[in-house]
Structure 1
Amino acid sequence: MDWSREEVEAIVADYLEMLTLELAGQSYSKTLHRRRLQEKLNNRSDASIEFKHGNISAAMMDLGFPCIRGYKRRSNYQVLLATVAAEQVRGKTVLDTVALAAVEQPALVPALTDFAKVKSDAPKKENRATEAVNPLLFKAVKRDYLEREAQNRSLGLAGEEFIVQFEHWRLTQLGLGRLADKVNHVSQSKGDGLGYDVLSFDADGKERFIEVKTTSFGRDTPFFVSRGELALSHGAKDQFHLYRLFEFRKAPRLFDLSGSLDQHCVLDPMTYRASFG
C-alpha cells in the first residue's frame, strides 16, 4: 500500500530529528523513535518503516545531506518523498548549523594499530529506476554538505596520510619492505594535479596510483571525482585505485575501486565549463 502524504511527512520529520541529534553528537534511541512514529502511521510494520528510512537516506543524499548511520540508502523512492524531504529541510536552521559543523571541522590522522580490520567490501552499483524527480526541486534547496566535506582540506589530507600508513603496512605484511619504503605521498611531494594522491606498489612491483576520497559518514556516501581522475582511471586502469575511506573520524574503514570508475559508480555530471571558443 502506498504511503500517504501524512505518513511521509511524519516519517521524514522524525528522520530529520534523529539526523540533527546524530550530527550534533547527541544520543537517541531509534527504537523509541520508531515506536512513537508507528502511532502516526497506518499499521506499518517495522520492516516497512526501516525500508522507508533507507529511501529517506537516499533522498537526503540527493539533497546533499549526510544520512543516518545504519539506514542503508535505497535509491528507488517515490516523488512524494523527494518533495516532502525538500519541503522540510527548508528553514531547518539547527540542522544546517550542525551539518556545517560536521563537514567543516578539522581532522587528524586517527591513531590506529590494527590495519587488518580496515578493508571493507565496496557498495554495488545500482540500476536506478526512480520515478522522474524534477532536478530543480533539489537545486532550489540544495546546500550540498557532502560537497563541502569533500572540500575540507584538513580531512582530505588526514585521509591521504592515513593511506600512506596503510600502504606501508600492506606492503610490509607482504614481505616487501623495500617497496613499502618507496610509498610516496605525491599530492604533497609533486602537487595535486596528477590525478592521484599516493604512489604505491602491487606485489609484483608494478606502480599503483591511489586516489583517496575521505568522508566522516557511511560507506554509501557519494563522493566527487575530477575530470583528470576519471581520465586516469580510464588511461591507467590496470594501475588506478580509488580508496574510499569512510567513518573516518569514528573508526576508519576503506574499500578499493580499481580500474575505470564508471564500471563501479553511477557518474552524474555536476557542472559544465562554459566558454565562447
Structure 2
Amino acid sequence: MPDYKDLTSRKAVLATMARYDEMGGQAFLDAYGYGEASLYLAHHAGRTYDSKAIVGVAYGVQYPDHGPLVAGSFSGGKGHAAGHLARLGFEVAGVTLPEEHWTLDEVEPIVARFFAMFAQQDAAGYSQSEHLKLAAGEVPSRKISAISRKISNINAILLEMDLPPLGRFGNSPNAQTLLRAVVHDWITNHEEIFGAVRPGTAGHDASRRTAPPEGQALETVRGKRRAVRVDFDAVDARNRLLGRAGEAWALAQLKQELIDAGRADLAARTVWVSDVLGDGLGYDIASFTVDGSPIQVEVKTTNGGRAASFLVSANEVRTSVEAAESFVLMRIYDFAGEPRYYNLAGSLEKTCRLRPASYLAAPA
C-alpha cells in the first residue's frame, strides 16, 4: 500500500517544487488533482507551496512506477503529510519540531563524514577517533556520543538497502526521517562509493558453514524496503555489486575447503563460470566435492540474517531440477559483518518453498 511516509528523498521534493514553480501553483494543483491549502504551507527559497500536494507529487518522482499519490488517499495535516515534509527538513507553517530534532545543517555534515570514514576505513592510517573529532568540529552543537549514535543510525539505513555498513560501529534502527533522506540522496550522487563491496571479515574456513534455517514464512522474512530514486537502476546495481562480491567470497571459500581437505588439485580446477562465461547457465561456480564429484554452485548473498529470503530465477530453478544430484545453492548471509553460509543441495523445488515474484508479460 503506497504511503506518504515512504517519501525519503529531499531531491524528489525539490524537483517537485521546481515543477510547481514552472507550471504555476494553480496549474500544478489542477494537473494533479489537489485543492488549494489554507493551512500548512511550505516555504522554501522565498516561495510558498501547498505542502500536501508537494508530498503527493514528490512521491511519484521518487517512485515513478507508481506515480503521484491521489489526494484523497492520505491526509495533509501536521500529524501527517505536512509533518512529514517538515521532518524531511523543510519549513512548514504551523509545524514545529522538537528542539532535540537534528537540523539539515547538522545532518548533512555527519552524512558526509560518515562516507568519508566509509571510503577510508581500509586505508593505512585510518583513525576512527580522528574522524569523530573532525565531526565534532563540523557539528559543534552535538556531543561525540550523539554523533556516534547518528553514525549507527546510518549503518541501519544501509543494511535496509542491502548495502555494507561502516565497520566498528553498531546499527541502531529508528533513524530520523531527515537522516534517512539525506543518506538516500547522498548515495544517488555518489553511487561509486559502493563500487567495491567487500565482506567485513577476511579469511575463509569451514566454521563459517551453518545449518539452513528452519521454515519461516516468506511474507515475514524481509522488512519493508524503502526505495532510493537514483540515476541508474539502483536495486539492480546494488544487487550486482553485492552478488559479485559474494560470488568472489564463495569461490575463495570453496577452494580453501578443498585445499584443507587435501584436494588442491580440485581447488585448481574450480571455476567462477558466471565471471568467465557470463550469466545464463543457472549456476555461478563449477566445483567439486572432496571425492571428486562435480557440483554446480549457485551463490545468493545478503547483508541480512540467516532467515532472509532470496530471489531465484526460473532458469536457476530449472537447472536445479535438471542437475539435482550435483546442484548446490550456497546462501551467504551477514556478508558485511562476519560472513557465514549454509548449503541447500538438490532441486530448489524440494529444498525451498517457492512463490512467484515476477511475471513475463505482453499486451493481450
Alpha-carbon offset, residue 40 of structure 1:
3.7
Higher relative contact order (CA 8 A, sep 6+): 1
* Inter-partner Cα distance in structure 1 for 2:339 and 2:268: 22
Task: Say yes or no: does 1:62 pair with 2:62.
Answer: no
Residue of structure 2 equivalent to 1:185: 272
Task: Specify the SS of the correspondent of 1:88.
Answer: helix
Query: Helix, strand or coil: the match of 2:287?
Result: strand
Partner of 2:328: 239
The answer on whether the counterparts of 1:187 and 1:196 sit within 8 Å (CA) in structure 2 is yes
From 164, 189, 193, the equivalent of 1:102 is 193
Normalised by the size of structure 2, how large is the TM-score?
Answer: 0.45
Residues 257, 38 of structure 1: alpha-carbon distance in 2 compared, 3 angstrom cutoff? farther
| SS class of match (1:210) | strand
CA contact (8 A) 1:13 1:88 kept: yes
2-structure distance, mates of 1:228, 1:33: 50
Where does residue 111 of structure 1 map in the other structure? none
- Counterpart in 2 of 1:83? 177
- Partners of 2:188 and 2:230 within 8 A in 1: no
Work out the CA distance in 1 between the residues paired with 2:252 and 2:279: 19
Q: Distance in 1 between matches of 2:240 and 2:155?
A: 22
Letter in structure 2 aligned against 1:151: R
**Counterpart in 2 of 1:256?**
341
CA drift of 1:186 comes to 2.9
Secondary structure of 2:120 counterpart: coil
Distance across 1 between alignment mates of 2:207 and 2:291: 21
Cα–Cα, structure 1 residues 70 and 5, in superposed 2: closer, same or farther, change >3 Å?
Answer: farther
| Aligned pair partner of 2:298 in 196, 208, 211 | 211
Tell me if the contact between 2:304 and 2:333 (Cα under 8 Å) persists in the aligned partners.
Answer: no
- Secondary structure (helix, strand or coil) at the match of 2:297 reads strand
Distance 1:129 1:192 in 2: 26
Relative to structure 1, the CA distance from residue 214 to residue 51 in structure 2 (aligned partners, 3 Å threshold; closer, same or farther) is: same
The CA deviation at 1:198 is 0.8
Deviation at 1:193, TM superposition (A): 1.6
Q: Deviations over 1:7-39 (max 9, x none)?
A: 453685464133221244385536537867795
Q: Aligned pair in 2 of structure 1 residues 197, 230: CA closer, same or farther (>3 Å)?
A: closer
**Distance of 1:66 and 1:116 partners within structure 2:** 19
Residue of structure 2 equivalent to 1:200: 287
Q: Could you say if the C-alpha distance between residues 169 and 60 of structure 1 is closer, same or farther in structure 2, counting changes exceeding 3 Å?
A: closer
What is the Cα deviation at residue 151 of structure 1? 3.3
Alpha-carbon spacing, 1:60–1:88, altered in 2? closer, same or farther (3 Å): same
Partner Cα distance (2:299, 2:209) in 1? 16
Say if 1:8 and 1:84, in contact at 8 Å, map to a contact too: no
Provide the aligned C-alpha RMSD in A.
5.5
One-letter code aligned to 2:111: L
Contact 2:272–2:284 under 8 Å retained in 1: yes
Contact 1:183-1:201 within 8 A present in 2 as well: yes
Distance 1:214 1:103, change over 3 A: farther
2-structure distance, mates of 1:167, 1:140? 35
- 1:30-64 superposed Cα distances (whole Å, 9 cap, x missing partner): 653786779547xxx95x87666444323244357
The Cα shift of 1:174 comes to 0.6
Offset from partner CA, 1:124-174 (integer Å, 9 cap, x none): 9896797xx7x6xx4364567564244359x93x86566545433321221
**Residue deviations 1:170-224 (CA, integer Å, cap 9, x gap):** 2122123454354233335665223321122233555443234679xxx559997
Change (3 A) 1:200 1:100: same
Aligned structure 1 segments of 4 or more residues deviating by more than 6 angstroms = 33-38, 124-130, 221-224
Structure 2: state its 5+ residue gaps: 1-96
8 Å contact from structure 1 (residues 147, 224) kept in 2: no
Q: TM-score scaled to structure 1, two decimals? A: 0.55
Q: Provide structure 1 residue ranges, at least 5 long, that are not aligned to the other structure.
A: 108-113
Corresponding residue for residue 102 of structure 2: 9
Is 1:32 matched with 2:133? yes
Structure 1 residues 58 and 209: CA distance shift in structure 2, 3 A:
farther
Opposite residue 201 of structure 1, the aligned amino acid is: F
Change (3 A) 1:23 1:207: same
Is the Cα–Cα contact under 8 Å of residues 205 and 256 in structure 2 kept in the other structure?
no
- The question of 1:19 aligning with 2:114 is answered yes
